[in-house]
A = this chain, B = another copy of it.
Amino acid sequence: MSAAEASTAPGPARDELVRVSETQARSWTDSVFRACGMRDTDADIVAEHLVGADLRGVYSHGLMRVPNYVKRLQTGVISATANPEVIADHGAVAIVDGRNAMGQVVGLYAMELAIEKAGVLGTSFVAVRGSNHYGTCAHFVEMAVQRDMIGISGTIGSKNIMAPWGGTVPLLGNNPFGVGIPAGRHDPVILDMALSIAAGGKIQLAAKTGRKIPKDWAYDRHGRPTTDAVEAWSHLMVRPLGDYKGYAMAFVVALLSALLSDAAFGADVKDLHEDFVNPQNVGHYMQAIDVRRFREPASFRRAVDAAIDAMHGAPRAAGVAEIFVPGEPEARLARQQREQGIAYDRHVLAELDGVGEQLRTGPMPRPSASGAVVARKV
């Protein structure tokens, strides 16, 4: 992903940006989830996760999610107060039942367990059920990276938007997975990807703005490629990357995420945006691999740096300014937004203000008149 893509797609249009500091965004989000009945520590976990995604330009998994999450907590389809529990534990593996708590809370609990086990035995695999939409894979694999470990995670998507290859009905999520690998001088390598050619959010954006979409992004209701964004968005069915290969990966990520832990699969996956009655029973998996059991971490980090340097130093095609490794554009943007504030779309902020009003936690803070930042191109 280029830095430009990371910063703007499916994020805000550039002339509609307002910058909010990380601290302000965290504090506002905290208060929202506390007002929904969550404990302070759990509200903090969700706020850190969502604002962290926005910092990295992954707006699709940031505060844009708050209205849906709040509605789910208020209807009780997600439990505000449940505690995840370990229901099976043996050596390097475990099953965590999220007890229908927020996915970010469950995911963090499960990855902490995976890290603890890998610290003792070198690696681990934790299967999760009874969870909800957990946010970005990146967040969890970075937890492992901070302990000199490689982190791996995958999850069932919270809405079925991919058909089996050749089919016309979406039976799979755009199931994402992530891998985080520590580096030294460089930012860690953070792969976090779903398995469609284009994110659903890009198709939504095209539908909203009356633009056509490339014909390899999505299908119409008959399973034929379409350039009509409105048709594509109305019953979203994304095209997997590499055709049958992306479908095959989505299927395998689903099995790893749901079947060891007995979470929901296929038609049993309730729609995050449509069903506010039935808990989702989302499944995930978390793995950690402790680098120090293989080689001295400083030496490993140098080797990763050298690998990154090799990619950076490759001769470039005409028109290519820079070569990136996975996670690099996002890390760069996060540094910038940590300093300058996070660029939010005014319409997203207005929606968040509405949530704050309803919960009586107040609107999202804006920069003061003197401190106002007119967003530059990022």
Which of A's residues lie within 8 Å of B, judged by CB?
A: 1-2, 88, 90-93, 95, 120-125, 127, 150, 163-169, 171, 179, 181, 189, 191, 193, 197, 222-224, 241-242, 244-246, 248-249, 251-252, 254-256, 259-262, 265-267, 287, 289-291, 293-295, 300, 303-304, 306-307, 310-311, 314-318, 320, 322-326
Instruction: Tell whether A317 pairs with B91 under 8 Å between CB atoms, given A260-B300, A294-B260, A310-B171.
Output: no
Asked whether, in the complex, the Cβ of B252 is within 8 Å of the Cβ of A181, the reply is yes
What is the predominant secondary structure among interface residues of chain A facing chain B? mixed
Q: How far is the CA of A303 from the CA of B168 in the complex (A)?
A: 23
Given A93-B121, A252-B191, A317-B222, A88 and B293 contact (CB-CB distance below 8 Å): yes
Q: Which of B92, B193, B315 contacts A122 (CB 8 A)?
A: B92
Determine which of B169, B255, B326 lies in contact with A315 in the assembled complex, contact meaning CB atoms within 8 Å.
B169
Q: What is the total number of copies of this protein in its complex? A: 2
Residue contact A289 to B242, C-beta cutoff 8 Å: no
Pairwise interchain contact B91-A315, C-beta atoms closer than 8 A: no
Q: Which residues of B contact A242 (CB under 8 A)?
A: 193, 197, 241-242, 246
Cβ–Cβ contact A326 & B191, under 8 A:
no
* Nearest chain B residue, comparing its CB with the CB of A197: B242
Residue of B nearest to A285 (CB): B289
Out of B289, B303, B311, B325, name the residue touching A125 (CB < 8 Å): B289
